[in-house]
A and B are shown apart, each in its own frame.
Chain A
Amino acid sequence: MGLIETFFNAKVFVETLPLLWTGLVVTIELGLLSIGLGLLLGLAVALMRLFGIAALRIVARIYIDLFRSIPLLVLLIVIYYALPFIGIRLSSFASATLALTLVSGAYTAEIFRAGIEAIPKGQFEAAKVLGLSWPQMMVDVILPQAVKIVIPPLTNNCINVMKDTALASVVAMPDLLKQATQAQALAANPTPLIGAAAIYILILWPLVLLVSRFERTLKVDTR
């Protein structure tokens, strides 16, 4: 068999495409759900860390540092294989979502914190002396300005979460990578794996380009 037939076998590819498709749907569901939940969690933790009472600040700090220290794969395996010993049995999808959300939330919290801290003190003071309440100040004045600052690093974080979804295949999640390895075994041909790799790249390349563009425009802005 030639190289082309081995790695880019059209017949195998067409046959396994439905399987890859179901895997892709799971990967995208898992990625988007984890990104969305991670954003909410990260914003909440960032606000706790910046404006909470002392105890909440400490909790937020520990959370952020803990989940930035633990390798995602280790966390995932602990959730899926260790938690059942204390009676917590999560599906592979729930385990993967939880692990990805917890880790993404920690990074997102740091991104939001940096974004909010970059807003000049005068903006907070102007909002306060106008009589805006704390939530009004955040929603109308601070967060809209912070969002502009955090969009590039948040996009970067999205890329990381989408990539990390592939780790879920180790807890038997039928995601894109898992389906591809299964298809490879069935067809006794690596084409599905190559196909899966191509799909990951196709999804993430535009995001990578977007981040590069953010970086370019930021450079122009600060000049």
Chain B
Amino acid sequence: MGTIISMRGVDKYFGRFQALNGIDLDIAEGEVVCVIGPSGSGKSTLIRCITLLENFTAGEILVDTVPVREGRELELVRREVGMVFQSFNLFPHMTVLRNVMLAPIRVRRLSPAKAEERARDLLIRVGIDEQAQKYPSQLSGGQQQRVAIARALAMEPKVLLFDEPTSALDPEMVGEVLDVMRALARTGVTMVVVTHEMGFARQVADRVLFMDGGAIVETGTPQQIFDSPREERTRAFLKAVLHH
């Protein structure tokens, strides 16, 4: 399987503060990568750089061999990379169905009929088909996040980025969203998931990255990272979070 995301020497500065420090990372097609690490370690910044929501300061990122930078290439990259946010970011003035149909119609030039068919299929897949005509504010957080996942999937992206998709949810709704993501991981889409759900990472990830201070400190299979971490910082972090 080929490499779908390749990062070489990526630095990101916010003013004089360095949020990413020489990131080198290759992600294979179909791989599920979970990113863990303490608050402020640069996890969000890392995945936001992949789709250029943050301009990185130095280095190179390729998505499916296309360089991530302003201009014509960015259109190609954004077609192939979907993102799910902590705060859902559904469009509040559109029905759930419209939310899912919009980008395929506008960006992929699908006919409205075809887009609706695809949207309804996806809403069934995430278990929201009953609510297609409702507005986002009429749904629970867990339902909204599942719609957001359907909306991202409607563009048929090769890569899906998740930035703490369950952190804003009430505890009883975390499971339903993780279930959808678990099913998704089996479909062969490449996933990069920033998460505090260690159980999910252990169960679903092909590879876990531990970040600290803007760098990837340690990477390995879930067994390696969770059962026998090599780095002291990884051990300390896991000890702190698993104690909860």
Q: State which residues 131-170 of A face B: CB under 8 Å.
A: 131-133, 136, 140-141, 144-145, 148
Nearest Cβ on chain A to B135's Cβ, whole angstroms = 12
Nearest Cβ on chain A to B69's Cβ, whole angstroms = 14
Nearest Cβ on chain B to A141's Cβ, whole angstroms = 6
Are the C-beta atoms of A130 and B103 separated by less than 8 Å? yes
The distance in angstroms between the C-alpha atoms of A120 and B85, with both chains bound, is 13
Are the C-beta atoms of B51 and A129 separated by less than 8 Å? yes
Is B243 interfacial (CB-CB < 8 Å)? no
Are the C-beta atoms of A122 and B79 separated by less than 8 Å? no
Chain A residues positioned under 8 Å from B106 (CB to CB): 132-133, 136, 140
Are the C-beta atoms of A131 and B89 separated by less than 8 Å? no
Are the C-beta atoms of B93 and A122 separated by less than 8 Å? no
Are the C-beta atoms of B93 and A144 separated by less than 8 Å? yes
Contact among A128, A131, A136, A141 with B53 in the assembled complex (CB-CB below 8 Å): A128
Are the C-beta atoms of B75 and A141 separated by less than 8 Å? no
Contact among A123, A128, A129, A133 with B91 in the assembled complex (CB-CB below 8 Å): A123
Are the C-beta atoms of B103 and A132 separated by less than 8 Å? yes
Are the C-beta atoms of B89 and A123 separated by less than 8 Å? yes
Q: State which residues 77-96 of B face A: CB under 8 Å.
A: 78-79, 81-83, 85, 87, 89-93
Is B151 interfacial (CB-CB < 8 Å)? yes
Binding site secondary structure of chain A = helix
Is A5 interfacial (CB-CB < 8 Å)? no
Contact among B75, B85, B102 with A122 in the assembled complex (CB-CB below 8 Å): B85
Is B10 interfacial (CB-CB < 8 Å)? no
The distance in angstroms between the C-alpha atoms of A125 and B54, with both chains bound, is 10
Is B107 interfacial (CB-CB < 8 Å)? yes
Q: State which residues 41-93 of B face A: CB under 8 Å.
A: 51, 53, 75, 78-79, 81-83, 85, 87, 89-93
Query: Which residues does B use to contact A, with CB under 8 Å?
Result: 51, 53, 75, 78-79, 81-83, 85, 87, 89-93, 102-103, 106-107, 151-152, 155
A-B contact pairs, 22 of them (CB 8 A): A122-B85, A123-B89, A125-B53, A125-B85, A126-B90, A126-B91, A128-B51, A128-B53, A129-B53, A129-B82, A130-B103, A130-B107, A131-B103, A131-B155, A132-B106, A132-B107, A133-B75, A133-B106, A144-B93, A145-B91, A145-B92, A145-B93
Query: Which residues does A use to contact B, with CB under 8 Å?
Result: 120, 122-123, 125-133, 136, 140-141, 144-145, 148
